[in-house]
Structures are given as C-alpha cells and as structure tokens.
Structure 1
C-alpha cells in the first residue's frame, strides 16, 4: 500500500506587497482633495448669497451635504477640514437677515443645524487622531459654536434651547468617536495577541520538532559510541559497525536539520528558476520500520504490530504519531535499561491509537519525566484534540499511549491528494 506524504510543516508563504504609489498618483490625490475643499467653499458662498433671506433653516440644512466634498481634506488634514466646516457653518449663521420682523423668528429657527457637519468631523477626529489633536478640535469647536450661539440666538429662550442642543450634539459626536476609537484599539490589541500566540505556538512546534529529531539520533550515537569504545581493541568488526551506525545516523540527522533550517529560512516559495522550491516529505508512520531498525542498532529490539486497515492519514496526524513513537523509543533507549519493547499501531474507525510498551525499570531519577519528551508528546496529542497518557506499568516497565481522533475517510483521502 502506498502512503502519500504531505510537504514538510515548515513550508513558508510569500508575502504579497502592495504596489507603492508613485509621486504622480500622490500629487493627483492631493489635488483632488484640495479641489473638493475649494468646491465646498464656493458652494457655501452660493447658498448663502443666493438663498432668500428668510430661508435660514433651509440654507443650514442644504449646507450639510456639502461636507462630503471635504472627505479628501479630512483624511489628509483633519483639523483643517474641521476649521472649514466651522467657518462654513458660522457663515450660514451670521449672514444678515433682512427679513420683516414677522418672519424674523422663522428665519432664525434651525439656523444652527449647519453645525451638525462640524460635529460629524469632530467625531471623526476623536476616533482617528491623537489625543492632543482631539483636545484641540473639541476646544475649537466648542468656542466657535457657543460664541455663535451666544451672539446670534434670537432671545433668551432660543439661547438656552440652542445651547443645550449644541452641547448634546457635540457630546454625542465625541462619544461615538471614543467608542469607535476604543473598538479599533481593542481590535488591534486582539490582533497583536493572536500574532503573539501564533509566534509562541510556532516556537513550541519548532522546539518539539528539533527535540524529537535530535534526541533520538543523539541517543543512538551515544550508545554506539560507547559500544565502539569498549570493543575497539577486542572486536574491531563490532567497532567498525558501531562507527558506521554513528556515521549513518549523523548524516540522517544533519540532512533533517538542513531541511528544517532551509524551510524556516525560506522567504519565497519560488526558486530562482521560477519553480517551486523542493521540500522533503515529512516523516510518518510508514517510516516506523526504519525507525525500529535504527533503534535495534542501538541495542533495543522493537516489535512493531499494526492493527486495523492501514491507510493514508492527514499529514498532521501522521507526523504527530510518528514523533510520539520516535520520542517514546528514544526514552526506552536512554532510560529503560531493557533490550526489547513493542509498538502497537491501531487504525481504528474514529481514532488512531499508538502504544509503546517496554519492560524496563520505569522512570529513574533523571528520567524522561524530568525532561521535555513527555511534555512534547502531550502537546502534540492536545493540538489534535487527542488523549495521551504515560507512566509506569504495575508489573514493571513503562507505557506510552496516544489516541488521536481521525476525520472521516473522505476528508482523509482528500488531504492526501
């Protein structure tokens, strides 16, 4: 049965950069923005100079849509846009009213509606600009609006009503701006937290990969070197075999480290020739027999037993199961003090079960319970929402069990295409 391997977990991704805007495009955008500001001033002059003298509320309401012409100026110079809207609204208020006394009150009613445009701009400044700019904008808007209300409100009754309405409108715009600002800052904080958690998770993943890759090989090299040093004078053939095993294991480890480092340092998925950079397949349960043979060279015979229908697995499950077996065998070689262990792999309908059992001495004082091996195995199982247990057996020895949930067969087949 053929097993399809997925690309290594360290595959990098290209970062798409936005094309930089040239000086011509920036100049054109600036010209468009300031042209909108000029049109805003001209439109207000036309409204104020050409409207009937008794239509103050109509002019005030008609000046509100004109603020849309200041969108470009607002993005580039928010305080300048606020000043323009305040001056425009004040011009609508202070235009001399030459209407008869009978219509004078009607002309003054609603004349301060034009300041709603300035309140909208004020809310935008509070939401997007710094605190100093927001304080300056609120002070400027408050002074001009209430100065105009105090000087041009028609009678004490209208003065109180217009002042309260103006104050409420400013407060509402500032509150909306503050809420928008807090929401944006909260979103940025959450994004930064997600990035930090992703970096931490990637660091842990790299630490697990390097630990599982190196610990097993270094353990075998140490044992073979000890065997070779003891028999180099009495059994030269055994010593040469130990040295060959050390050479083979070292080369395999260096090759794996080189592939990992290349994958981590790779910043572009395309090679210089335009093709995709070659990446070695990540190990999986199909390589357990080779792992067992390398462990046997270190003096521990491994019996591999496979149950259920052997089939392709998702890449993350396949790699995690292999790493768990590898780390468990490393612990057997380094700490168990036995020459035999068993590896049981069961392909169930809903989960993959991996069990490594030895008849050694369990956990010594400086055993795997005091290192990162069991911690890494437990993290791998937890990332896949699986179950993990490791501990001494009642009759002696040590037992490692991992149960990893499997998706539906259709999903697993799709992942291996």
Structure 2
C-alpha cells in the first residue's frame, strides 16, 4: 500500500529530532567505547569488532557538526587507549596488555577517516585545525602504548603518514569536486554565449536581408509612384510580402525562445537549400537578378549544413543588394562527395575589405563551427566573391 504525500511527510524525521539523535549517538560513543574496552572477554581477533562498530554512532553528527563530533571521537579514543594501557586495566579479567596498541591503531584509523571527511567537505582552515588536533591527541595516546625511543618514534611516523594520507585524500576529493563545478559553470556560460551568438546571427541574417529588400522596394516605389503606378503597387506588394515573412520568422524565433522544457519545439522548420529559389525570387523583386547554378547530385544534407548554407547565401545576396551597385549576381551550389561548395559572385563595386560589417564575420563563424573553409574578397576582374566549403559528415554521404 502506497502512502499519500501527507502521510509520507509525516514519516520523515524532523531536522531537530535528527540533530538530537546525532548528538546523543556522538556523546554515547566515548562511553560505549569505554565499556567495550573494559568488558572485553578474551584476547582474540574479535576484540576489535565492538569498538569498530561503536564508531558508527558518531557518523551522523560528523556530517552536521564535524568539529564537535571529531572532539568526541578523539576524547573516546584517547580514553580507551589510556584505559587499555593503564595498570588499572590489568585488574580486569581477560585483559591483555597488547590490546592497548591495537585499540590505539584502530582509533587512529577512525579519527583519520573523520579528518579525511572534514578535508573533503569543509574549508581548508577547518581541515587543518582538525588535522592538527587529531595528530596531537594521537601522539599523546602513543605515549601510553609505546615504550622506548625507537618504538615511540616509529609510532609517531606511522601516525603522521596515515593522517597526511587521509587529509590529502579528502583535499584532493574537494579539489576535484570544485574543479568539476568550475567546468560545469564554464560549460554553461559557453553554452549561453554560443546560443546568444547563434540568435544574433539568425536575427542579423533575417532582418538585414528583409530590411535591405524593403529599402530597395521603398525607394523604387517612391520614384515611380507618379509616373508608373503599377510598378509602385508591385513595390508595395513586395514590401508587404517581405515584411510579413520577416514578422512571421521573428514570431517563430521569439516563440522558441519563450518555450521551455523538453517538449518545446520550433513552430516551423529551419530554412534549408530548398528555400533558395524563394529567397532569390524575393531578391529579383528588389531589382537584383540572381542566377543559381546547381552542380552534382542533389541530396539531403544534415540540418546544420543546410541552415548554414542558406544563411550564407542569404547574407551574400543581401550584401549584393545593399552594397554592390549591380543588378545581377551568380550563386553556385556544388554538391560534392565529401563537402558542399557555395560561391556567390557579382560584378559590382562592393566593399574593398572583406572584414567590413558583421555579415561576413557571421558567415565566417558559421563556416568555422562546421570546420569548413571560407573566403571573401574583391575579384581581380571586378566585383566581389564569397566562397564557402562545408564538410559533409561521413554518415550523410
């Protein structure tokens, strides 16, 4: 039978209750450890089992209050070691003198594990304080179960090495976690930046082309409105059609940006090379005739290649309309086996520099994202040339 949400919440332990139980377990740890050492039956390997199990009581408080929990663990381990090594312990039946160093080593491992946890989850200063306190208590306890200078120095060296190993392990765990968090943050920032650049390119390609066509048509309509009303009406119709298409594209883009969740999907397919004829028809209405030449066997290509190719042609033709000062241009689409080659040329007087404006920069970025090659610049015989080669993935060939 499944529990309702309200019943499930009622079964959860409240934070105050959990913290109280954690404190009770940690306080009971040194007491039960003392009892375990005193009531040890006979010197077998099982005599370390109960002290090891009792250490679990301090773990809940170690997660909430690491330093107080460590202090209680150190107090219990020191008292148990001293008790096992004291002459008073010999009065209890079945107590073995060798139990002292075994209890001491076991408690050193337990406290070293606590120091490693603190180093992995807390600040470095807190971890250093915990390590220093633990080492001091462990060396003090070693005085009771090691006699002789050589035995004592070897015990101290062993304790220092074990504690350093535990602290470094915890520190490396924390460093790795912080590095992973930094990498995730940088990846998120890069993803946001890449998405902003993509949106900026899409807006630039869409709006710049449409505004260029609208500006040309508006100028044509203004000049012929008195002498050629039919041409003026055609210009106004082209302005209406272009503005409607642009407005619909902007609405789709804004709708996709507002949509959230995995179920969000574009309201219309992205432009592809199949839309080139429609693009060039709108360009002809603006007074620039664009001839398209297709070479090779036409085939469907990956969506990112199709979209980038369309946007490059759109931006290049828009630059012809706005800057070339010519009435015609040529578009070549070459379907090769391992790449898609695009070339847009004109005979006008375009910009002398290939780096002017954001359009060419955007085209170069699109090609770079696909690991392709891009060139743009004036032609020796006059005019301007834009060429791009977009590699086609092997699985799409």
TM-score (norm 1): 0.82
C-alpha spacing 1:239/1:125, structure 2 compared with 1 (3 Å): same
Structure 1 residues without counterparts, runs of 5 or longer = 1-20, 271-275
Deviates further, 141-150 or 278-287:
141-150
When the two structures are superposed, what TM-score results if normalisation uses the length of structure 2? 0.86
Give how far 1:45 is off: 4.5
Q: Aligned equivalents of 1:334 and 1:33: distance in 2?
A: 77
After TM superposition, give the deviation of residue 172 of structure 1 in Å.
Answer: 2.1
1:332 maps to 320
Counterpart of 1:51? 40
Q: Would the aligned equivalents of 1:32 and 1:72 in 2 still touch at CA under 8 Å?
A: no
Asked whether 1:214 is paired with 2:207, we answer yes
The alignment status of 1:167 with 2:188, answered yes or no, reads no
Counterparts of 2:257 and 2:215, CA distance in 1: 28
> For the residues of structure 2 that align with 1:26 and 1:261, how far apart are their CA atoms?
46
Q: How does 1:14-163 map to 2 (within 5 A)?
A: 22=9, 24-27=11-14, 30=18, 34=22, 37=26, 44-52=33-41, 59=47, 63-64=51-52, 66-95=54-83, 96-97=86-87, 98-99=89-90, 106-113=98-105, 114-150=107-143, 153-163=146-156
Q: Secondary structure at the match of 1:360?
A: coil
Residue 227 (structure 2) aligns with: 234
Once the two structures are TM-superposed, the CA of residue 25 in structure 1 deviates from its matched residue by: 2.9
CA shift at 1:352, angstroms? 1.1
SS at match of 2:90: coil
Q: How does 1:262-411 map to 2 (within 5 A)?
A: 262-270=255-263, 279-364=267-352, 369-408=355-394, 411=395
- Contact map agreement 2:37 2:51 (CA 8 A) in 1: no
Q: Quick check: 2:333–2:343 contact (8 Å CA) kept in 1?
A: yes
Correspondence for 1:205: 198
- Offset at residue 371 of structure 1 (A): 0.5
Per mean C-alpha deviation after superposition, the further-off stretch among 341-350 and 228-237 is 228-237
Pick from 256, 261, 266: which aligns with 2:254? Answer: 261
| Gap runs ≥5 in structure 2 | 1-7
C-alpha contact (below 8 Å) 1:388/1:401 kept by paired residues: yes
Cα distance in structure 2, aligned partners of 1:337 and 1:49: 102
Shift of residue 210, structure 1, vs aligned partner = 0.8
Moved more, 393-402 or 33-42: 33-42
When residues 185 and 255 of structure 1 are mapped into structure 2, their CA distance, relative to the original with a 3 A threshold, is: same
The answer for the alignment partner of 1:7 in structure 2 is none
Change (3 A) 1:83 1:25: same
Q: Would the aligned equivalents of 1:335 and 1:368 in 2 still touch at CA under 8 Å?
A: no
Separation in structure 1 between the aligned mates of residue 59 and residue 366 of structure 2, nearest angstrom: 52
Aligned-pair distance for 1:62? 5.8
Q: Would the alpha carbon gap of residues 134 and 168 (structure 1) be closer, same or farther in structure 2, given more than 3 Å must change? A: same
Deviation at 1:329, TM superposition (A): 0.4
Q: How far off is 1:37 after superposition? A: 4.9
User: Cα RMSD between the aligned structures?
Assistant: 3.0
Aligned residues: 381
Paired residue secondary structure (2:355): helix
Q: Which has the higher contact order (CA 8 A, sep 6+)?
A: 1
The answer as to whether partners of 2:81 and 2:101 remain within 8 angstroms in 1 is no
Shift of 1:63: 3.0
Q: Report how far residue 389 of structure 1 moved.
A: 1.1
> Residues 188 and 371 from structure 1, CA distance in 2 versus in 1: closer, same or farther, beyond 3 angstroms?
same
Partner of 1:185: 178
Contact 2:377 2:386 in 1 (8 A): yes
